[in-house]
Structure 1
Amino acid sequence: MPNKPFFFAIVVIALLTLTGCEFTTAEDSLETYNERLANVLEVSPSEKPDTDIPQLADIRDLLLPIEDIRIGLLDAYELRKCGLFHLIAERNSILGKVQDKTHRFRYELLFMDGLEHCLATLPQDAEILPELKQLHQLKQQQLPVYLWNMLTTGEEWRKQLRIYHKPFGLAENPGFAANHDAMRYLLYIHNTLQDGATVPPKQAERLLDYQQQIYTHRYFGQLVYSLARSRDWLNASTHLLESNEANIICGANRNQQKAVYLSNVFHRFFVGDIQPYLAELDSQYSQIQTPLKVILQPPSAVSSHFNAYYQSYVAGELHASFRNAILKHVEFWQRTFKRCQLKLGTQN
């Protein structure tokens, strides 16, 4: 029978090895790729690149003030006739006064729907009608502001937007489906409000479901950091290759050993691991950018604080530089494979 402590140690080491392989980060692969290229070129690998990217502004710079409109108790009691009194009482309760941004926006959507029901069903000579019509107009103006405050200052949604300084794993992008669905839903809410229409109660209630689904992830902040790190590592590797291009001797009747070794590194690391990862980042960003460009369009009151973030991550400046880094890197290899008369797509 094998020695138990020794056997246990072997099992632990094996599990740790498997775990390490399974959760290899893209950062590790990009760095290893750079190191292997440097080994073949017989030069020092690139220094780890610095990634200096805009951060999300502080809450105090993004939060927009909203006038708190109150209805007198007697008027609110009158609203029992059209079913709105209960909702107002819930808002004025102890719990209602400490609602988070998502619950408050949900309340405002439900209130607007109830308000329109009251306007449609109360007698035309009801004394409260003029006040309700004025309230309706004010609430229509406030709802987009509630949406903005929820997205940029509410804990759950803001968590998605803050930069998360940890790239995705090679085969893991946690939170994409939940965030994509949530942002498309908020785009529907945004467009409905812009059209001057009312969000149905069932749709308003879904806010809480989406809040719960996204809460466990930091998806968008991790996505843009992954784009930025990939861009910076690719640019570093491209610079390494181009700086030593003259030392890659190849062509007819020449020793092509170095070019062949570089080709093997390219296929093993870039084609095998990195390229699929980059393609997935590109695809996911392209999908989630569509709703974000609309719902995160900054109001003029906060544009100076939010503009750098918006232009880089939402309008697409970072994504464009990411694609350009890929293009420059691939162009080097196309040029080298052609010059060395090596077939792209085959490993030696």
Structure 2
Amino acid sequence: MPSHRPVSRKILLTGVVTIISAAWLYGCEQNTAINGFETYHQRLAKVLDTDPLAPSLTDPLAFPATRSLLIPVEEIRVDLLDAYELRKCGLFHLIAERNSILGKVQDKTRQLRYELLLLNGLQHCLDTLPQDNDLLPMLTRYSSQKRAQLPLHTWNMLTTGEEWRQQFTAYPHPFPLGTFYGFDEALAAFTFVQSILSQNNINKNELALESSKLAAKQADTLLTHQKQIHPYHYVAQLEYSLQFATEWLDTSTRLLEQNESRILCGPNRNQQKAEYLQNVFYKFFVADIQPYLAELDSQYRQIQPVLATLLTKPGAPETGANTVLARYRQYYVDGELHAAFRAATLNHVKFWQRTFKRCNMKIGAQ
């Protein structure tokens, strides 16, 4: 019986070539946001009979290097003989697993997962061991120390863990018009991490039972969020999209203002240029760009408070030693860029408002 292997290889090869070709073609397509802002600007320049202006597109700010962000966390060890006694409340296996070869090379998310499970296990031991057990003072002290370290482990995961750090690392590609990859996943993930810290702060002296139960669920949910954000660079892409839009809006507003005298309006005057500009405004700005700007603004407003909490380094206030992080926070997280974005949007819209008023054109009419 003849073999069908060559046919299978041919089909497989054809499929691979098709996938590669599709990916190449997709990669060559111009980003619709880039095309949208460029086309809008060029049409304005054409109607005004002038040359387009080149926007001063700047590179995104760098997120600090991993080594400058990692916070050393003191290793708190439990005596093995005491740890063996923890079999009675189910904690020994978890500690032994963490001390194994594989346990010592866990990524930052799994390290935080371990801390959450450990806090859960400690509380279970404190609740179930006899009140006269000699381990209780040590477990109480250990639990308090581990709770104090949780913000440090969380910080290290967010700023040095691959999938989380990727969200902040410069990514100079604006979102396409109408498409905002990773928003739901990022907002859910960062809000979840924020809830871990909030829960940890409910009582700084002892871990409440309900908090302990929540920690066990959080541990595995954390891995789910890590997996869900992995394909995206959401925060960095949002930041660059705001910056990109701001620079293009400022450029287009400057073009309009520099040529405002060319827009003739008034009784017994030919307002054809003003009417053509009005058409460009509605066709390109109102139809495509304005909804894009509104969505960028909305998404930033939703995720900014969460990021402001999470990107506050635990411990002492920031000093001049980490100026890169301080500048990153000021520009992206604390609102400097967003304020510039809103000002650019407002200035652009105000130009059209006064022009339509001067030319006696009703807003909304085309």
With normalisation by structure 2, the TM-score equals 0.86
Structure 1, residues 93-115: CA drift from partner, whole Å, max 9, x if none?
12111100000000001101111
Matched, 1:241 2:241: no
Is the aligned partner of 1:42 residue 2:79?
A: no
Match of 2:136 among 129, 140, 144: 129
Contact 2:185/2:228, CA 8 A, preserved across alignment: yes
Contact 2:59 2:172 in 1 (8 A): no
220, 224, 231: which one aligns with 2:246 = 231
Quote the Cα distance in structure 2 between the aligned partners of 1:87 and 1:121. 17
Paired amino acid for 2:290: Q
- Amino acid in the other structure paired with 1:59: T
Q: Shift of residue 260 of structure 1?
A: 1.1
Q: CA deviation at 1:346?
A: 2.0
The 8 Å contact of residues 168 and 222 in structure 1, kept in 2 or not, is answered as yes
Q: 1:335 matched to which residue of 2?
A: 354
Q: Distance in 1 between matches of 2:292 and 2:29?
A: 14
Cα gap change, 1:195 to 1:251, in 2 (>3 Å): same
The match for 2:149 among 137, 142, 146 is: 142
Q: Does 1:99 align with 2:106?
A: yes
- The residue identity in structure 1 corresponding to 2:167 is Q
Amino acid at match of 1:264: N
Unpaired runs of at least 5, structure 2: 1-21
Pairwise CA distance, 1:147: 0.5
Over 3 Å counting, the alpha-carbon distance change for 1:114 and 1:154 in structure 2 is same
- The match for 2:229 among 201, 214, 220 is 214
Partner of 1:181: 188
Structure 1 residues 204 and 101: CA distance shift in structure 2, 3 A: same
Q: State the Cα RMSD in Å.
A: 2.0
- What is the Cα deviation at residue 280 of structure 1? 0.9
- With 41-50 and 265-274 compared, the bigger mean Cα shift is at 41-50
State the TM-score, normalized to the length of structure 1. 0.90
Q: Give the counterpart of 2:297 among 282, 290, 293.
A: 282
Does the alignment pair 1:307 with 2:322?
A: no
Which residue of 270, 273, 283 maps to 1:268?
283
Q: Which residue of 2 aligns with 1:172?
A: 179
Query: Are the aligned partners of 2:182 and 2:229 in contact in 1 as well (CA < 8 Å)?
Result: yes
Paired residue type of 1:101: K
Counterpart in the other structure of 1:250: 265
Gaps of 5+ in 1: 1-14
How many angstroms apart in 1 are the aligned matches of 2:349 and 2:319? 37
Is residue 105–residue 147 contact of structure 1 (8 Å, CA) maintained in 2? yes
The answer to which of 125-134 and 204-213 deviates more is: 125-134
Residue pair 2:119, 2:215 contacting (<8 A) in 1 also: no
Opposite residue 132 of structure 1, the aligned amino acid is L
8 A contact 1:102–1:154 mirrored in 2: yes
Partner letter of residue 129 of structure 2? L
CA contact (8 A) 1:144 1:190 kept: yes
Partner of 2:79: 72
Runs of 4+ in 1 over 4 A off after TM superposition: 18-24, 301-304
Conserved in 2, the CA contact under 8 Å of 1:234 and 1:326? yes
Matched, 1:292 2:307: yes
d(CA) in 2 for partners of 1:22, 1:44: 26
**Gap change, CA 1:19 and 1:155, over 3 Å in 2:** closer
Per the TM alignment, residue 129 of structure 1 is displaced from its structure 2 partner at its CA by 2.2
